[in-house]
Chains A and B, each alone.
Chain A
Amino acid sequence: MATRGFRRALGDLLGGLLPLSVRDLRRELDDRIRKIPTRLNEFGYDPWGLCPATVRETVLPALALYKYYFRVETHDIERVPPGRALLIANHAGQLPFDAAMIALAMLLEAEPPRLVRGMAEYWVSELPGVSVYAARAGAASGTPDTCREMLEAGECVLVFPEGVRGMNKLYKERYELQRFGTGFMRLALEAQTPIVPVAVIGSEEQNPGFANFERLGRLLGMPAFPITATFPLLGPLGILPMPVKYHVYFGEPLHFQGSPTDDDAIIDEKVETVKTAIEKLFERGLRERHGVFSG
């Protein structure tokens, strides 16, 4: 008890020393988190292990990136419907900063604020530390059953159908969508969920890749081994992104009808509609921006 009190006092004291801007950020964050509609139990956790209190404690660095590093601008975020929704976005930039920025956009700019659920790769839950933080921040091992349940509970789920293919795409392939998986479309049909196409402008240039040695990566236990201007030249730090300007465009929600067990050919047609919608957003975003860094 005493240590807890002491820790709190120390926290308050240190809080007083924080620069005003950080305190403002924290206040804004608290304000937003309070408004999130979630179903928490008496210990502050939702059924999948999400914990807004942990998010509050740890999100500040990401928030600083959002405001001052990537200077994220969102467009038409009000198009995300209330209740269940699938956000389908492009994936790029060697590290998944795009996921964090979309999630923060939904937390800071959407009305009411939402905590976006992410579908993580299986190996994320095998990484010590990362597994816990991912769960507290709203991610879950990406099994179709879990995703369907989250949608049925009215959650907003973020999916990158490009997966690793997108994250490690080369610079010359920027703003070219890689092959999409079809799982998200089958889920959308099954759970009758509107799909919101999302285009992230900026992430595709944040750490331009010139080559990708997948075999070597696999040997090292990584999903890829990209060669970029700074990686592996500068060591692990070289994988970090440059301060590009982020624009996040939200498209009109798309509603699809049909059977979730249809042939791939029929599902692919619907997936193609989503890809086209994202490509339209790309066109608009690239037309509207002035420079990669100044935006």
Chain B
Amino acid sequence: MEKVLITGISGGQGRLLARRLLDSFEVCGVDRVAWEGRPKNVAVHQVDLRKRKFEDVFRTEQPTAVVHMGMVRHFRVSEQVRHDVNVRGTKQLLDHCVHYGIQKLVMISSSYVYGAAADNPFYMDEDSPLGATRSYPEMRDLVEVDTLTSAFIWKYPHIRTAVLRPVNVLGYYVHSMIGEYLRQRRVPTVMGFDPMMQFIHEEDVSEAIALTLQHGLQGVFNVVGPGAVPVSVAIREAGSTAWPMPEPLMRPLIDRLFRWGMVPYPAGAMDYIKYPVTLSGKRFVDATGFRPLFGLEEIFHSVRR
């Protein structure tokens, strides 16, 4: 039986994935926090990806596959720490994968790496440039992690490496920035802008990762859910109220508030509610036959306040 090591296993998505994989894989994981009430046969090691103890996990657990989702995607820590954990942590992990004979690696990136821009084509494929840092420099570590792992695919072709870029993930368990955003009582939006946004349910993301492991996929794949709606519809369906603000007012305001720690995202994130980032999931569907189980209504229902 294959043994999968999941980084970030105690997060919402990590827990869902662990339970999803238990039928067909042995599962172990690492995280900085413990997982209370985990299944008995799942070992969770509380380590830091950058530390020596992380390497020990590879030695003792001897996994054959790794799912890497243990990244800091919020801004509650300093930029340096975030960069360190994400980029250096991933680099360490890639080295361990080479040294300890890992056969399959799945890295969970996101659609955000493409960046939101007025001249984005609709339904971009995986070869589109990663433009996030053009107007959202705080994303540079996540873009770098994606690039680092994509390069790893070509350097070590004997390791089946897949980079997954799912669209906006929503669900009951997962902690995502977009989920936090939609769940606010009054949701700030940019007045006069209402881009199309794609969503996918957390369970479908787990399913996609499981399929990636089963098929031993190699390459970069967008993972797309059931469809797209304007962000205003998503806000309405999540049971919240949109609060349109004129951009010249909103940008400096969010900028200040973010620096004072009163808003969880920097002003650059505004572009994602202003311009569309829509992806084509064709490559992944062709490779695995993936079909999202959860429709848009169920997705929004799962985050309804």
Contact = CB atoms under 8 A, between A and B. Distances in A.
Q: Tell me, yes or no, whether A binds B.
A: yes
Interface of A: 41-43, 45, 47-49, 122-123, 125-132, 135, 140-141, 143-146, 149
Contacts of A140: 122
Contacts of B193: 128, 131-132
A46 to B, nearest CB: 9
A123 B275 CA distance: 12
Interface in B214-229: 226-229
A141 B120 contact: yes
A101 B276 CA distance: 28
A140 B123 CA distance: 12
A253 to B, nearest CB: 26
B121 A42 contact: no
A144 B121 CA distance: 8
A130 B194 CA distance: 10
Nearest to A122: B119
Interface of B: 118-124, 190-196, 226-230, 233, 237, 246-247, 275-276, 278, 295-297
B296 A42 contact: yes
A127 B121 CA distance: 17
A141 B227 CA distance: 19
Given A42-B297, A45-B196, A145 B229 contact: no
A47 B122 contact: yes
Contact of A43 (B124, B229, B275, B278): B229
Contacts of A43: 229, 233, 237, 296
A125 B122 contact: no
Contacts of B192: 127-132
Give chain B's interface secondary structure class: loop
Contacts of A131: 192-194
Nearest to B227: A41
Q: What are the 4 A-B residue pairs with the smallest beta carbon separation, nearest first?
A: A128-B192, A145-B121, A129-B192, A143-B121
B303 to A, nearest CB: 16
B51 to A, nearest CB: 44
A48 B196 contact: yes
B122 A45 contact: no
Contacts of A135: 194, 196
A159 to B, nearest CB: 16
A45 B118 contact: no
Given A42-B295, A128-B191, A143 B119 contact: yes
Contacts of B191: 128-129
A49 B230 contact: yes
- Among A127, A129, A140, A145, the most chain B Cβ lie within 10 Å of the Cβ of A145
A101 to B, nearest CB: 25
Contact of B118 (A125, A145, A146): A125
A120 B228 CA distance: 20
Nearest to B275: A125
Contact of B228 (A47, A126, A127, A129): A47
A48 B122 contact: yes
Contacts of B123: 47, 145-146, 149
Contact of A123 (B118, B247, B276): B118
Contacts of A122: 118-119
17 contacts: A41-B226, A41-B296, A42-B296, A43-B296, A45-B228, A45-B233, A47-B123, A47-B227, A49-B228, A49-B276, A123-B118, A129-B192, A132-B193, A132-B230, A141-B118, A141-B122, A145-B122
A146 B122 contact: yes
B254 to A, nearest CB: 17
A135 B275 CA distance: 12
Nearest to A125: B118
B119 A49 contact: no
A113 B237 CA distance: 31
Contacts of A130: 192
B124 to A, nearest CB: 8
A145 B246 CA distance: 31
A132 B276 CA distance: 11
B9 to A, nearest CB: 34
Contacts of B229: 41, 43, 45
A143 B192 CA distance: 22
Contacts of A143: 119-122
